[in-house]
Chains A and B, each alone.
Chain A
Amino acid sequence: MLSATTLVGPATVFVAAGLLVPLAILFRYSFDKVDARRIMIETFSFDNYVKFFSDPYYTGVLATTLRVAALCTVVCLAMGLPLAYVLARTQSRFKNVLLMLVVLPLFVGNAVRAAGWMTLFGSKGFLNVTLMQLGIITQPLQIMFTEGAVMAGIIAVNLPYMVLTLQSVIEGINRNVEEAAFSLGAGPATMFRRVLLPLSLPGILAGTILTFILGMNAYATPVLLGGPKFKMMGPLVYGQFQLNNWPFGASVAFVLMTATLTLTATANILIQRRFRR
């Protein structure tokens, strides 16, 4: 018989060696000091964290990241829930095809997908040319290198994750409980609020957490669609490592990770408490 330790061991060792050890090393680096000649000098100071939180530029980048990730998550939930419901309840023989269509955007990498958006959003891109030829606009709209373009890109990436998570949970909810609500006089909105929403909460939470984390850590989309002036935390972390400023890059990475984990855990607790009542 395999013991629990044997079963848990390989995955634990793999995660510890591949994630926790590098994280611990990176955390230690975040207290070091940058040095042009040796990358960094070992010391123990909170200077990098103080620099981050005392500079409106860096706190602004964090605020932008939180705003974009939160808005994208809300939009993904609003668009994903009806779609997931239809997919879960459909009796169509094309259900598997529909599911494949939802997953289709994940078949190409983020960078390739963003390149596609670039051809769509550019000043001489498909959207602008079409609008100009239809006479709706005379000057091309500035869509590229805006927060709106980044959000459109991130939503397109994250939506399938939300839909798939919700669809699998809604599928597990017995259709009879919805019918029961209707037979007792509840309208569709009441049924949704009193029956479907509480029962699909685990899926909503999982999908929300997943899309929020993906939004917080977005890299290729903000770089390619946001342009040089638009900054989110992912590109900021990488930029610091490119500059060989490992200590500050490490501290920014830990600020990002802490913010993501804290907000995710807080939202999880608050929502579960709200619906337990």
Chain B
Amino acid sequence: MTRSKSRREVLLGAAALAGAASLPRVASAQAKGRIVVGTWGGDYARLLNKNIEAPLLIKDGWEVVQDQAGDPERRSKMLAEMRLPRGTTDVQGLSAINMFQMHDAGSVLPIDYGKLKNAGHLLPAMKYPYGVGHIYSGKVGVYNPKIITTAPVSYKDVFDPKQGNKVGIIDIQYQYTMVCAALAAGGKVDDLEPGKKLLLECKKAGMRIYPTNEAFAQGLKSEEFGLGVMWKARVVQWQNAGISVTSMTPTEGALAYVSGFVIPKNSPNKEGAYAYLDAMLDKSAQEAFAVDMGYNPTVSNAVVAPDLNKRIGFTSDEIKNLVDLDYNYLNKNDVALKEWWDKELKG
């Protein structure tokens, strides 16, 4: 017999509230009120402050506080706080699949696009009913031309057992890697079985598995391997760091990676939350993120310099061809997919 659990949610919620009380302040109290932003730490948090919060919100009288943590922790917190009348954050930065997960759990507010003056410029694909896309990139093929002399053109060329130990994949990117392999093997975003089979063949042929994006970059740099898949934005950062790597948009269509923001249903300051989303879509903030992070703007009025656009952007055909994940399928099967990844592929 099962029942929902208010007791533990109250306990977890209390813990979350206690945690929120110790949040670092990034700006002193201002006239318009406080916006609490759930975000990853590191560069992304720094750039949110530099490109959105300081120039567009704090200057206007808002107080902005960042609640920095990894997304699993922040998602757990959102679920734990769900039943509380008043949550501890106003907006939460999540990837598209995790925005869907929180929507599916019933923890986020439907977005009223009428409240966003910049929504008119938002690309239609970035307008989720439950969240707003902030930046996007695509999963492209990456290769070192010194090691891979015949340029790959598709995911199929990347996940080719004939490449042996020249192929590398990233442990923490298991979902996207499995979908890329599925597309390479003729599967679909909601049918990963052909991809699993192909990955096992690649593993047998010597495919290398790296724990993190950084370890993958290190392997590319030291020429331990020369072929894989990665966000185009990240490839640009690696090129800037002097790593010999070229990217290609796969013929199957690049898997889209979207990072955006949702508003928790119990956000204490919904007006502030909408102000944050609007500032995030501002032309100047979007352009700055393209320059600083290499991700593409999600608004049509942002202007990206042609040379930068050539490196980070996609042609209109490639944009049309972008493949979105099946969020519902991945959300329902995440535990099983990760178990397969750990036990069968890595084991």
Contact = CB atoms under 8 A, between A and B. Distances in A.
Interface of A: 25, 29, 33-34, 36-43, 55, 57, 122-124, 223-224, 227-229, 231, 239, 241-246
Contact of A38 (B105, B335, B343, B347): B105
B104 A37 contact: yes
Interface of B: 1-5, 8, 11, 70, 72, 75-76, 79-80, 101, 104-106, 171, 209-211, 215, 218, 222, 224, 331-332, 334-335, 338, 342-343, 346-347
Nearest to A44: B1
A53 to B, nearest CB: 15
A34 B336 CA distance: 11
Contacts of B11: 25
Given A57-B342, A229-B209, A43 B75 contact: no
Q: Please name the 7 residue pairs, one residue from A and one from B, whose CB atoms are nearest each other, closest first.
A: A228-B171, A57-B343, A242-B72, A124-B222, A37-B105, A42-B5, A228-B211
A42 B210 contact: no
Contact of A244 (B5, B75, B222): B75
B334 A36 contact: yes
B2 A33 contact: yes
Contacts, number: 71
11 contacts: A36-B331, A38-B105, A41-B2, A42-B2, A42-B5, A122-B222, A227-B210, A229-B347, A239-B342, A243-B338, A245-B335
Contacts of B80: 39
A36 B332 contact: yes
A249 B106 CA distance: 24
B101 A36 contact: yes
A76 B253 CA distance: 54
Contacts of A124: 222
A25 B10 CA distance: 13
Contacts of B105: 37-38
B346 A228 contact: yes
B346 A34 contact: no
Contacts of B338: 239, 243
A241 B12 CA distance: 14
Nearest to B7: A42
A277 to B, nearest CB: 45
Nearest to B335: A245
A144 to B, nearest CB: 9
Contacts of B171: 228
Nearest to A21: B11
A37 B75 CA distance: 11
A122 B346 contact: no
A26 B254 CA distance: 41
Contacts of A57: 342-343, 347
Given A57-B343, A223-B211, A243 B335 contact: yes
A40 to B, nearest CB: 8
B2 A38 contact: no
Contacts of A43: 1-2
A62 B99 CA distance: 35
A244 B76 contact: yes
Nearest to A243: B338
